Amino acid sequence: MAGPISSERALNAALLRVVIVGHVDHGKSTLVGRLLYDTDSFPEGKLEAIQAMCERRGMPFEWAFLMDALQAERDQGITIDASQIRFKTAKRDYVIIDAPGHKEFLKNMVSGAASADAALLVIDAHEGVQEQSRRHGYLLHLLGVRQVVVAINKMDLADYSESRFVKVEEEYRRYLAGIGVEARHIIPVSAREGGGIVRRSDRMDWYDGPTVVEALDGFQPPVPPTELPLRFPIQDVYKFDHRRLIVGRIESGRLRVGDTILLSPSNKAAKVASIENWGASVPSLAASAGQSIAVTLHEQIFIERGQVASHAENPPIETNVFRANIFWLGHKPLKVGNRYKLKLHTGEYRAEVQSIDRIVEVADLSSQKGEEVVKNAVAEVTLRTRGLVALDEFSDNSHTGRFVLVEDYAIVGGGIVNMKGYPDQRQSVTRKATNIFFVDHRVDAASRWQLNGHRSGVLWLTGLSGAGKSTLALELESQLFRKGYQVYVLDGDNLRNGLNANLGFLPEDRAENIRRAGEVAALFAEAGLIVITAFISPYRADRDRVRAIAPEGFHEVYVKASLATCERRDPKGLYRRARTGEIPDFTGVSSPYEAPETPELTLDTDELTVEESVARLLEYVEKNLVGGKGWEDQSPLGSVNQLGAPGL
């Protein structure tokens, strides 16, 4: 019958992967050697080998030689891998991911930490917190490792001084708090003497917290990937005898025969006919995370490498723009406008650096705007891909939420996906209704234009709140109407009082708001009207989708104004409330605004008066919407309402 210990191990059966990091010479290898020895996990014969080695060299026993011995074995092609070492406690099994501490090996440290569930960070009590200690802490945060224990090592060299420990502890806790990380425990340790690893030290009776092993045993096991939503990135499609095999590895979740899978970003769905494994004599009924499989489908839909299969009720995000927390390893700096190959699960995409939002100085956590990110720096950037990409936020699913950037066939950076401020575009591109047919009108556009005396179209005014969109739109409408033109303003606030009253201001709501507004504007234009819109419309992708409805009738007008100018105007008091945190996700303050790249017309209201801006709009309408009919205007600027343009 199983005893209490074996029962507890069964409850904590999930393997915990712990990356151990620290500045060079802070005692990381010694701590690992001691940890393995004190938990009876030392490889057989290694203790004697190290003793013999030390005797030959005439030096005291050195625990760190364990790592050297394992490295030698790895170099000789024997089974032990120096970068991953197993040990076990009474509670569970562990894998230690040994990460080099030197700055030049940062890439290896990041590679190891990226697959870890927890981290053990080592700091020398005598030397104290070093720049590399801070950099490692920040990279752990960047990579989403949230379970962190810090070992203040070499307490024997600090005379087991409580005051020295407290000083280092307080300094590092302040640093971690600054990046939003809370160390579960900070533990005084003497790896050389074995104090604080498995057993407590009589020399540190002032410390009453857990040992390193007790702290690790207190970590939560990772959520098994089988319990996450299904993510089956497609590796390839093969035609084999009469079957068409969709192959890949299930990264998370479970899949059964008969399930309907949704392919993203194509949004096509099909039912699984069979699940097949290489070499198996009969097909499987089910498969789960970690298995490389092939599936056949009842429906023959077009599928290509990089698409992600999921269940329809919990699909990945679809987007062509996202924020990314990155670490940069390239010799050439990352710059705005640079293009790289983005590799995410099985997909490869061309990605452009849209903006460098923040470069972080890991030493003091200060951040700054910058034009480039240099080697070994960390930064927050925004990346834009040419088409939609299926992905997840890293915090939701690490398998489909992290990526690497490639330049000239070399990996130059990596990072994790952060969708803060950007919407899932799936809702904007998904068509749910079926059996829908277009109805042709008996009155065509040309007939309406002939009756009205002008062409129709959409003047889409976009810009920050306070840039002057509504002021210009209403004045333009007024002047055009007096001249006999069929014209109407669609204003953002007005639509949110009715048609879009059920939408909030989350990124997905903003995208849906613009989708509906765009469809309404297109209908008005089809009816022969000149439609003037006044929407912030912060996302370029949303505006591009509106343009795609009727490209020849869409005229993008960028009402440009600096954020400082808009905040100074603040006609509705929204910026003031956003700065106090009363309004979250406010465009330009805490949510992105993507300015047009090639608008048909730009009106810089930092420089132009209302009269000058409206005059340019009238000139644009005359040239592009009135056509050859001519334009007669006796007093084009005579009725500009200054009261309607506060601050402009």
* pLDDT per position as a tens digit, 357-398: 988 876 566 678 888 999 888 899 999 998 999 999 988 898
Of 67 and 87, more confident:
87
Distance between CA atoms of residues 629 and 417, nearest Å: 53
Nearest to 87 by CA among 9, 33, 153: 33
Is 70 exceeded by the pLDDT of residue 100? no
Give 201-238 pLDDT, tens digit per residue: 999 999 999 999 999 999 988 778 899 999 999 999 99
Residue with tokens 């760190």: 64
Q: What are phi and psi of 235, to 5 degrees?
A: -85, -40
Instruction: Clarify whether 366 is annotated catalytic.
Output: no
In contact, 138 and 362? CB cutoff 8 Å = yes
Cα-to-chain-centroid distance, residue 33: 37
Q: What's the pLDDT score for residue 140?
A: 81
Q: What's the pLDDT score for residue 76?
A: 44
At 24, which helix (H) or strand (E)? Answer: none
Q: In the structure, what pLDDT confidence band is assigned to residue 112 with cuts at 50, 70 and 90?
A: low
Q: Across residues 293-304, what is the average pLDDT?
A: 92
634 SS3 class = coil
Of 439 and 339, more confident:
339
Segment among 36-45, 193-202, 381-390 with least mean pLDDT: 36-45
Q: Sheet holding 457-462: strands in order across?
A: 487-491, 530-534, 457-462, 554-560, 601-604
Is 70 exceeded by the pLDDT of residue 45? yes
Nearest to 234 by CA among 326, 301, 321, 324: 301
The residue from 310, 456, 465, 537 that is catalytic is 537
Q: Is the pTM of this model over 0.75?
A: no
Six token digits for residue 269: 């769905």
CB half-sphere exposure, 211, CA atoms < 13 A: 20
Six token digits for residue 47: 């203790």
97 SS3 class = strand
Six token digits for residue 138: 């920040």
Give 137-157 pLDDT, tens digit per residue: 877 877 778 889 999 999 999
**Residue 465 CB partners (closer than 8 Å, separation 6+):** 536, 566, 572, 574, 575, 586, 587, 588
Nearest to 34 by CA among 13, 23, 20, 16: 20
Strand ranges in 101-242 using DSSP code E only, listed in sequence order: 118-124, 147-153, 185-188, 232-240
Cα-Cα-Cα-Cα dihedral sign, residues 341, 342, 343, 347? negative
Nearest to 287 by CA among 261, 319, 314: 261
Is 60 exceeded by the pLDDT of residue 116? yes
Six token digits for residue 565: 């100018």
Is 70 exceeded by the pLDDT of residue 13? no
**Residue 146 CB partners (closer than 8 Å, separation 6+):** 181
**Distance of CA 466 to CAs 276, 562, 600, Å?**
59, 10, 21
In contact, 273 and 299? CB cutoff 8 Å = no
Distance between CA atoms of residues 17 and 568, nearest Å: 52
Cα-Cα-Cα-Cα dihedral sign, residues 536, 541, 546, 551? positive
Segment among 67-81, 314-328, 582-596, 599-613 with least mean pLDDT: 67-81
- For the chain, report the end-to-end CA distance as a whole number of angstroms: 82
Nearest to 323 by CA among 416, 429, 410: 416
From the number of C-beta atoms within 10 Å of its C-beta (0-12, 13-18, 19+), residue 362 rates as: buried
Helix and strand counts by DSSP (H, E) for the chain: 17, 28
Q: What's the pLDDT score for residue 103?
A: 58
Six token digits for residue 447: 């007939």
Give 548-568 pLDDT, tens digit per residue: 988 889 999 999 999 999 999
Is 50 exceeded by the pLDDT of residue 257? yes
Nearest to 101 by CA among 120, 80, 88, 125: 120
Q: Sheet holding 118-124: strands in order across?
A: 84-88, 93-98, 16-22, 118-124, 147-153, 185-188
Rounded to 5°, the CA angle 584-359-541 comes to 55
Q: What's the pLDDT score for residue 643?
A: 29
Give 405-423 pLDDT, tens digit per residue: 999 989 899 888 989 889 9
**Residue 607 CB partners (closer than 8 Å, separation 6+):** none
Give 481-522 pLDDT, tens digit per residue: 999 999 999 998 889 999 999 998 888 999 999 999 999 999
What average pLDDT is seen over the chain?
85
Which residue type is seen at 61? F
